[in-house]
Every structure is written in structure tokens, then in C-alpha cells.
Copies of this chain bind each other. A is one copy, B any other.
Amino acid sequence: MHVATLEREAVSCLEMCNQCGARTTSICSVLPHPELRQLADCATVKTYAPGDLLIREGDTFDHVFNITEGMVMLFKLLGDGRRQVLGFLFKGDFLGLTGGVDYQFGVQALTSVQSCRFPRVPFRRLLLETPRLEEELLSRASDELMSAREHLTLLGRKTAVERVSSFLLYIADREAKVGGAPDLAFLPMTRADMGDFLGLTTETVSRVISSLKRQQVIQLLEHGGVRFLRRADLETSAEAA
């Protein structure tokens, strides 16, 4: 009877995984069955509304997350209120690569978000026992590093038009990977969020977008949608690289 109960619970945990929106794209996809069960057993699924904070800068780093649905934004604050948006995470992305003892950035939901949360300690234990998982995290860390370096170049050396064009293409590409249409971007964040990502002001972002629209390079749809009418032009203005 006791054994039967345990069995049933374990099955239901994996059941949860099978219904997960990020089953095949999250870090879990590299785990063999017994390890997946181990992870599933300590997982908590949580949903957030747009605007909710998943993490505050300075929160103790005692959990790691999979984003299993929706889009979140990472950001840092300076003492006087200036904000830098560091990046965005999508369905399938992992959140929890950080050296220190607490989170060095805040994380906010931009859409309805579902996350799958694991306590750091058992996650770390599984990590040490499962080289394949460690390998996967290293690969994702390398990708994030590459993407951060690309963004450094944008912030350090690109003009406003180049920044906004790069941004639109970047979001569309990321969304295409989780099921979006290729020449369409959905922008759930505000102009201010974009500005804080791109090192610009709200007004400048708005002006550049208006100008791209006026030149028929993009078309604005309802609910923050953007259609690329002339992607090649967008790519040209994205970079002289």
C-alpha cells in the first residue's frame, strides 16, 4: 500500500513533465528517466501574471528555474533608479547560472508565465552526479555569453536605428525558435523596457519605430505585433557588421 502510493506519486510527477510546454527544449530534455524523476520530485510549478517579479535583485540564490511558458525580462537597477534590461528569457530557457550567493539581477514576467522551480541544493547534487546535465548548462552558458557579447557591441558602438533594428530581428528569431512565425515579432514589453535594453530612451525607441513604419519596413499590428515588410532592409540597418 505504501509502496503503491509512492509509485503513484512518482508517476504523477513525470506525468507533469510530459505535459510540460518545454519538455523537449528545456535542460530536462537531456536527462534520462531516473534523473528526470529525481528532478521532478523536487519541482514546484508556479504561474505569474504580466508584471509579477519572479526574483528581486539581491534575493538569496536558493532556487533555479525553467521557464516553461511565456517571456520574462532580466534587469539591474542603479541606486538612482536607472535601469538596465539585461535580456529576455523564453519558453525552454533556464534561469540559475550565477556565481554568487544571491541573484545579481531582478526577473519580471512580461506575459503570463509558467515556471518550474527547483531548490538549489538538490539541483546541485543532481548536477554533480549527472555530467550530461553539467555539459548542457555549460553549453547554454556559452551561448548566453556569446549573446551578451553581441549585446555589448550593440550598446557600445551601434546607433539608435541599428539598435532597434537588431532588437526586432533578435526578438523575432528567439520567438521563431519557440514557435513564432518568421517575419513576425510579438513585443509584450513597453517602449521603456526596450529603451532600457537598448541604452536609449522611450522617446527615441518610439521615434525609430515610427520612422521604420513610415518607410514601410515594418507594420505595427494589434497587441504589440510587428510584421517585417522588408526584412532585408531591417538586416541592413541592423548592422554594418
Interface residues of A (CB under 8 A from B): 74, 76-80, 82-86, 97-100, 104-105, 128, 131, 134-135, 137-139, 141-146, 148-153, 155-158, 196-199, 239-241
Contacts and interface: CB of A to CB of B under 8 A. Distances in A.
A142 B137 CA distance: 10
B149 A83 contact: no
Given A78-B157, A240-B79, A148 B152 contact: yes
A152 B86 CA distance: 7
A196 B156 CA distance: 7
A221 B156 CA distance: 29
Given A79-B239, A84-B156, A99 B143 contact: yes
Contacts of A153: 76, 78, 84, 86
B139 A135 contact: no
A76 B128 contact: no
Given A78-B157, A157-B199, A135 B134 contact: yes
A78 B149 contact: no
Contacts of A104: 146, 149-150
Contact of A157 (B82, B143, B148): B82
Nearest to A75: B153
Contacts of A148: 145, 148-149, 152
Nearest to A76: B153
A134 B100 CA distance: 18
A10 B96 CA distance: 40
Question: Which residue of A77, A139, A155, A196 has the most chain B CB atoms within 10 A of its CB atom?
Answer: A155
A199 B240 contact: no
B145 A134 contact: no
Contacts of A78: 153, 157-158, 239-241
B146 A100 contact: yes
Given A80-B240, A83-B157, A99-B142, 17 more contacts: A76-B149, A78-B240, A79-B240, A84-B153, A86-B153, A98-B145, A99-B139, A134-B134, A134-B138, A137-B138, A138-B138, A144-B145, A145-B145, A152-B152, A155-B155, A155-B199, A156-B197
